[in-house]
Amino acid sequence: MEICVVGAGYVGLTTAAVLADRGHTVFCTDVDTDKIAKLRKGIIPIYEPGLTELIKDNQQRDTLFFDTDSKKHMAHCPVIMIAVGTPSAKDGSADMKYVKHVITAIAETIRSYKTIIMKSTVPPGTADWVEEELQQRGTRPDLFDIVSNPEFLREGTAIEDTVHPDRIVIGAKRSEAAMKVQEMYASLQTTFLLTNRLEAELIKYASNAFLATKISFINEIARICDAYSADIMEVSQGIGLDERIGSRFLQAGLGYGGSCFPKDVNALDYVASSKGVKLDLLHAVKKINRSQIDIYLNKITHALGEWTEKPRIAVWGATFKENTDDIRYSQAIALMKKLTHRGYAVYAYDPLATPELPSVIWCSSPYVAVEQADVLVVATAWHSFLEADWHKVKTLMRRPVIVDGRNALDKKNLELHGFAYMGVGRP
Ligand code: UDX
Ligand code: UDX
């Protein structure tokens, strides 16, 4: 198939590359001229393991093309996939302005039948709204189908998640349109759930809200573990062995961040309240996630005790999780801001991100960051942090205190090295 993917972000780029690799011809477009110029030269603007090679391979095979002229490719491709961002607006709703731009462009160019796939995460009712919008702009109803096909890939494992998804959800009004999208994914071995558009839209929000709930749930149980000096790692393992619960997304720590969970929980809350539905559970999920930072702050303050000289805190990790360069809604950054606010000197290191933050000093290596530190906080579970030279770290630090923001370090090993180790829910 010839497919036009609009939006070369984390989702659009990965999906375009995988579809091209699976035998389709994909034209991936973006309004960002600089991004497209780089992509054409094989320079990938984001960090995603394996993506550079996949894109280059398919550019060489002439199956993947990049362009700023989306209208040109919308006009000739029978399949258009919308993958532009839908960030949180101030009131928590999903900001649909980028989707609106794309709809306007489609209305202006459409001459032949198109299957329009909504890949961006959008509020329930969006497919119906797009359909009306196109018709109001004079597009004949027989010239298009709108299909809701939400994306579930995670940053850091985006290719693997796209090639081996747990399921592919296809929401369509007409079965012919659903079949067309299923055919596009025919090379992927998975369960296809064919449903209506509204349900497909809700599945995406509900999935992310449920995963966020799982994380806040385990973080709340970790608080009880702290009170009893019990180990959340054991508790989490025991819970997860129940197949009805499952072991994934039960890792306690600093809480969830990223471009999806915070935004989608807010957007679901917004649409629910617009219908008069109050989401008590999700409000609690958000509250727990916010206060998780304070739990860590208190641990750090407690570890520092009384001080005369300004405490020096090393923070390893700035991205919202490992294996990505994405810092959107990063809990690591939220923590750094609070640490500087308390008057501590913050020396930070991240393998990929060095965002400008008032009073945070970025260091050239994790070891430079820990020099003379009173506490080391590991805020993102990058592999290189887990495998650090702890002997070296100990000799560099002023006091050997480690706060594990992801419960990801080897506690026993650190204690053998002479560190005082603190996670959340770790005795
Ligand atoms: C995606 C989804 O589409 C979003 O709805 C979902 O919730 C998360 O994943 P993401 O890939 O993370 O978003 O977005 P981003 O990395 O911001 O990329 C969006 C791209 O679309 C940008 O490169 C932007 O330049 C481009 N864009 C935006 C267009 O090409 N046209 C526009 O009109 C607006
Ligand atoms: C998420 C969804 O998983 C994905 O299906 C959707 O398409 C986009 O949003 P992503 O945000 O890329 O993916 O990363 P994810 O691995 O889900 O992690 C989100 C946040 O939760 C990170 O900050 C991570 O550190 C945190 N997390 C995850 C935990 O705190 N504990 C866990 O057990 C799992």
DSSP sequence for 103-129:
HHHHHHH--S-EEEEE-S---TTHHHH
CB of 385 sitting under 6 A from ligand 2: no
SS3 115: strand
Nearest CA to ligand 1 atom 17: 85
**Ligand 1 pocket: which of 39, 84, 319 to mutate (most atoms within 8 A of CB):** 84
Question: Do residue 25 and residue 107 come from a single domain?
Answer: yes
Question: Do residue 113 and residue 203 come from a single domain?
Answer: no
State both tokens at 28.
């991936």
105 CB burial (10 A radius; 0-12, 13-18, 19+): middle
CA atoms within 13 A on the CB side of 422: 20
From the CA atom positions of the chain, what is the Rg in Å? 23
Query: Do residues 119 and 111 make contact, with C-beta atoms less than 8 angstroms apart?
Result: no
- Cα–Cα distance for residue pair 152/131, rounded to 1 Å: 24
Give the residue-averaged pLDDT of 254-271.
97
Q: Total domain count for the chain? A: 2
Q: What CATH code is carried by the domain that includes residue 127?
A: 3.40.50.720
Among 142, 147, 191, CA closest to 172: 147
How long, in residues, is the chain? Answer: 427
Q: Which of 160, 195, 230 is where one domain is finished?
A: 195
Per residue in 78-131, pLDDT tens?
999 999 999 999 999 999 999 999 999 999 999 999 999 999 999 999 999 999
Instruction: Please give the annotated binding residues for substrate, written as ranges.
Output: 152-155, 204, 249-253, 257, 321
- 308 has pLDDT over 90: no
Question: Do residue 183 and residue 241 come from a single domain?
Answer: no
pLDDT computed for residue 39 by the predictor = 98
Question: Do residue 349 and residue 384 come from a single domain?
Answer: yes
Nearest CA to ligand 2 atom 15: 154
CB of 51 sitting under 6 A from ligand 1: no
pLDDT computed for residue 78 by the predictor = 98
- Cα–Cα distance for residue pair 288/397, rounded to 1 Å: 32
pLDDT computed for residue 378 by the predictor = 98
Q: Which of 195, 212, 231 is where one domain is finished?
A: 195
Question: Do residue 84 and residue 170 come from a single domain?
Answer: yes
pLDDT computed for residue 119 by the predictor = 98
| Alpha-carbon separation of residue 369 from 3, 168, 361, 365 (angstroms) | 47, 43, 9, 6
pLDDT computed for residue 307 by the predictor = 85
Per residue in 157-202, pLDDT tens?
999 999 999 999 999 999 999 999 999 999 999 999 999 999 999 9
Question: Do residue 347 and residue 298 come from a single domain?
Answer: yes
Per residue in 330-357, pLDDT tens?
999 999 999 999 999 999 999 999 999 9
Among 275, 361, 249, CA closest to 315: 361
Question: Do residue 317 and residue 358 come from a single domain?
Answer: yes
- Cα–Cα distance for residue pair 373/314, rounded to 1 Å: 6
Name the H helices within 41-83: 51-60, 70-76
Count Cβ atoms below 10 Å from residue 198 Cβ, excluding itself.
15
**Ligand 2 pocket: which of 207, 211, 378, 380 to mutate (most atoms within 8 A of CB):** 211
Residue partners of 420: CB distance under 8 A and separation at least 6: 303, 400, 401, 402
Residue partners of 217: CB distance under 8 A and separation at least 6: none
Give the residue-averaged pLDDT of 224-232.
98
SS3 414: helix
CB of 261 sitting under 6 A from ligand 2: yes
Count Cβ atoms below 10 Å from residue 356 Cβ, excluding itself.
6
Give the residue-averaged pLDDT of 210-229.
98
Q: Which of 195, 227, 247 is where one domain is finished?
A: 195
- Cα–Cα distance for residue pair 295/333, rounded to 1 Å: 15
Per residue in 20-36, pLDDT tens?
999 999 999 999 999 99
Give the β-pairing of 2-6 and 25-29: parallel
Question: Do residue 425 and residue 315 come from a single domain?
Answer: yes
CB of 101 sitting under 6 A from ligand 1: yes
- Cα–Cα distance for residue pair 255/329, rounded to 1 Å: 11
CA atoms within 13 A on the CB side of 11: 20
- 41 has pLDDT over 90: yes
Q: What is the pTM of this model?
A: 0.96
Nearest CA to ligand 2 atom 6: 152
Question: Do residue 151 and residue 218 come from a single domain?
Answer: no
Helix (H) or strand (E) run with residue 132 in it = helix 126-136
Give the residue-averaged pLDDT of 12-18.
98
Note down the domain range covering 324: 196-427
Question: Do residue 45 and residue 144 come from a single domain?
Answer: yes
Q: For residue 314, which amino acid is it?
A: A
Question: Do residue 133 and residue 240 come from a single domain?
Answer: no
State both tokens at 313.
């805190």
Which DSSP state fits 173? S
- Cα–Cα distance for residue pair 323/233, rounded to 1 Å: 23
Let me know if 260 is a catalytic residue.
yes
Round the average pLDDT of the chain to a whole number and report it. 97
Distance 12 CA to ligand 2 centre (A): 18
Question: Do residue 186 and residue 334 come from a single domain?
Answer: no
Query: Do residues 231 and 425 make contact, with C-beta atoms less than 8 angstroms apart?
Result: yes
Distance 99 CA to ligand 1 centre (A): 9
